[in-house]
Amino acid sequence: MGFVCGIIGLPNAGKSTIFNALSSAKAQVASYPFCTIHPHQGIVPVPDERLEKLAGTLKPEKVTPTILEFWDIAGLVKGASQGEGLGNQFLGHIRNVDALAHVVRCFEAESVTHVYSTLDPRRDIEIVQTELILADLQTLEKRVSKAAHQAKVGDKKAVAETPVLQAINDRLAKGLPAAGLSFSEEGQKLLRSLELLTAKPVFYVANVSEKELKERRWIPGVEEVATREKAPVVIICGDLEAEMAELSPAERDEFLREMGLREPALNQLIRVGYGLLDLITFYTTVGPELRAWTVPRGTHAPQAAGKIHTDMERGFIRAEVISFEEFARAGSAAAAREKGLIRVEGKEYIVQDGDILYVRFHV
């Protein structure tokens, strides 16, 4: 079970270009084979500096990064929530992802038509958002009337749910995403159960030309919307990234040097998508393999161990733990042990981002 980031946006915003660049940039982590599960669904390794440093120190035979799945979701248009342009099918796909990368067209190109004829990122964002909000309002409408009916006949749960549903409805009706709302635990649970499209974490991907990178005519508009929503922005030259993804790692490094860039913007895109999901990464070294793992923040040690193998969760005894920083300071596994830096943690331990875990178990 992996985590999925859906790529959304208007037609001709550059979604498929970016998806294809992600899919063909497989050489970025040499040991991990990219796989396309489906023409529009692919898995990418998450770039991870800590993992690279650990690999440099431990020199394992095999390095396995953690992964993120991307889905290229066909373009939304006005009226999608009413079924326009296969709208409902697309909205259904969006419902199944964990986070959204909203690609916004910020490049001018005579040869590529814009569905709404002019370049206007702010308007484009609003069109997509409006469709998502309208779809959520439909979802909510059914729930509100059901709850109202049940509340009338004295259903306590429905009575408790009503103000929460009303608050969500009011916010959507104002044209705002459900994501900004927070409730008490019960309310939060109800909000999650509705699986609203606008409750998903979003980041913006400004797809720019090289010219726009310097001129910044459209980028500020995207940044303004993102700031208002406390959403991250990644600026990317879609066609440039697509070209770069075709290069060998050596050629790509050369290309980046010439451009004065540290890394492809795609790496940033993957990291931001991963970062939105409130996941943490921990590491294991078992035999010849150094591996990164992903769990939701707040996961206890036995459940984290269960990601590695179900036996490890079932027969969990303890975990020996060292943070990446401490490990890096110690310089080697032997030095870390010698200095007594490896802690022993039990079943109640909550795994922290960057932990290196040695799981002791018995079945």
Q: What residues line the site for Mg ion (CB under 5 A)? A: 15-16
Q: Does 11 bind ligand GDP (CB under 6 A)?
A: yes
- For the CA atoms of the chain, what is the radius of gyration? 23
CB within 8 Å of 292: residues ≥ 6 apart = 46, 48, 51, 64, 65, 66, 281, 282, 283
In the complex, minimum distance from the CB of residue 89 to ligand GDP, in angstroms, rounded to a whole number = 16
Nearer to ligand GDP, 165 or 244 (CB): 244
Token digits for 105? Answer: 């067209």
Site track 192-231 with ligand GDP (rule: CB under 6 A), x = hit:
---------------x-x----------------------
Q: Which of 87, 221, 238, 273 binds ligand GDP (CB under 6 A)?
A: 238
Give the angle subtended at the CA of 51 by the CAs of 50 and 52, to the nearest 5°: 90
Comparison of 3 and 107: residue with beta carbon closer to ligand GDP: 107
Name which of 234, 242, 275, 246 is nearest 106 in CA terms.
234
Choose among ligand GDP, Mg ion, none what residue 177 binds, the Cβ cut-off being 5 to 8 Å by kind.
none
d(CA 219, CA 223): 6
The binder of 166, among ligand GDP, Mg ion, none, by C-beta within 5 to 8 A per type, is none
Among 8-16, 115-123, 149-157, 283-291, which window interacts with ligand GDP (CB under 6 A)?
A: 8-16
Nearer to Mg ion, 16 or 81 (CB): 16
Residue 273 tokens, joined: 């998508």
Q: Rounded to the nearest whole angstrom, what is the least distance from the CB of residue 19 to ligand GDP in the complex?
A: 7
| Residue ranges of E strands in 46-130 | 62-64, 67-72, 99-106
Shortest gap between Cβ of 79 and Mg ion (angstroms)?
Answer: 18
Identified binder of ligand GDP from the candidate list 3, 5, 17, 267, rule CB under 6 A? 17
Nearer to Mg ion, 16 or 281 (CB): 16
Q: Is 93 in the site for ligand GDP (CB under 6 A)?
A: no
Cβ contacts of 37 within 8 Å, gap of 6 or more: 43, 69
Burial per residue of 311-339, b for 16 or more beta-carbon CB atoms within 10 angstroms, e otherwise: ebbeebebbebbbbebbeebeebeebeee
Binding span for ligand GDP by CB under 6 A among 107-115, 186-194, 330-338, 344-352: 107-115
Cβ of residue 301: shortest distance to ligand GDP, in angstroms? Answer: 42
- Is residue 16 at the binding interface for ligand GDP, with CB under 6 A as the rule? yes
Report the candidate in 181, 197, 223 with the shortest Cα–Cα distance to residue 137. 197
> How many whole angstroms separate alpha carbon 326 and alpha carbon 130?
47
How far apart are alpha carbons 327 and 356 in whole angstroms? 8
Amino acid at 62: K
Residues 104 and 128: their CA atoms lie apart, in Å, by: 10
Closest distance to ligand GDP from the beta carbon of 280 (Å): 32
Q: Looking at beta carbons only, is 40 or 291 nearer to ligand GDP?
A: 40
- Output 183 or 255, the one with its CB closest to ligand GDP: 255
Q: Which of 9, 45, 273, 302 is the binder for ligand GDP (CB under 6 A)?
A: 9
Closest CA to 312 of 302, 300, 299: 302
In whole angstroms, the minimum distance from the beta carbon of 73 to ligand GDP comes to 9
Which residues between 112 and 171 bind ligand GDP (CB under 6 A)?
Answer: 112
15 binds ligand GDP (CB under 6 A): yes
d(CA 189, CA 280): 22
Using rule CB under 6 A, residue 13 touches ligand GDP: yes
Binding site for ligand GDP (CB under 6 A): 9, 11-17, 75, 107, 109, 112, 207, 209, 237-239
